[in-house]
Amino acid sequence: MRLLHIDDLRTNDVRKSESGFPFGRKCTTHGVPLPGPTMTTPIGELPRTELSRALVYVTGITCGVLAAIATEILLRRTGIEIADTWRSIASAQALQMRSVSVFWFMAGSAFVASAVVAAALSRLPLPWHRLRVLRWLGGAVLVLGLAEVGHIASATGGHGGGAHAAMSLAALGVAALVALFAAYFATRA
């Protein structure tokens, strides 16, 4: 019985095989098609993923409500309180435009933010590889803006108690409904 030396395997099998694998197994199919599914899309293109309509609506509503909260915080810094609306409703005086304007600003910001987000999500299918730089810049601006709003919220003192909480929840409920309508109209084709 003769033992094989590694040099014998290399010289014989490398010349015989097209793959250069030294142990006699060949990695090529010699023109025979491989069994199983093959890749039909080119490597440069990734398949597009459509988002479900419910996910677009939920994302739009969330962004609209967050924009309404940021608007309320920014208006509170300027001295316009949402609790003043409750005092105007409870008293015999007519509603002041200043106190009701908080509702309109919150609803308007919710509408705009929701419409922009829902339109972008419904019209631009994933993946967004071409918009990578724009996404990073937008994300950085969004984080810096939210950090500034959080800083403003901690620095401003406002009315406490049930009137402020009730009016804020009512305004956020209205903002959520307005954001839903905006997302619906923005995704209509």
Cβ atoms of residues 156 and 73 within 8 Å: yes
How much is the average pLDDT of 94-112?
Answer: 80
Give the domain extent around 94.
53-123+138-187
| 5 part of a folded domain | no
The string of DSSP codes covering 111-164 is: HHHHHHHHHHHHHSPBP-STTHHHHHHHHHHHHHHHHHHHHHHHH-----SHHH
Amino acid at 171: A
pLDDT tens-digit series, residues 140-175: 998 888 888 888 877 766 666 777 788 888 889 999
**Which pTM was predicted?**
0.64
pLDDT tens-digit series, residues 4-34: 555 555 554 444 545 555 555 545 556 565 5
| 68 part of a folded domain | yes
Per-residue confidence (pLDDT) for residue 14, from 0 to 100: 47
Considering only residues 136 and 93, tell me which one the structure prediction assigns the higher pLDDT: 136
pLDDT category of residue 101 using cuts at 50, 70 and 90: confident
Domain count, the chain: 1
| 14 part of a folded domain | no
| 47 part of a folded domain | no
Going by C-beta distance under 8 Å and a sequence separation of 6 or more, which residues neighbour residue 58? none
| 166 part of a folded domain | yes
| 147 part of a folded domain | yes
Residues 25, 22: Cα–Cα separation, whole Å: 8
| 145 part of a folded domain | yes
Q: What are the residues facing 49 on neighbouring strands?
A: 126
Q: What are the residues facing 126 on neighbouring strands?
A: 49
The CB density around residue 178, as the number of other CB atoms within 10 Å, is 23
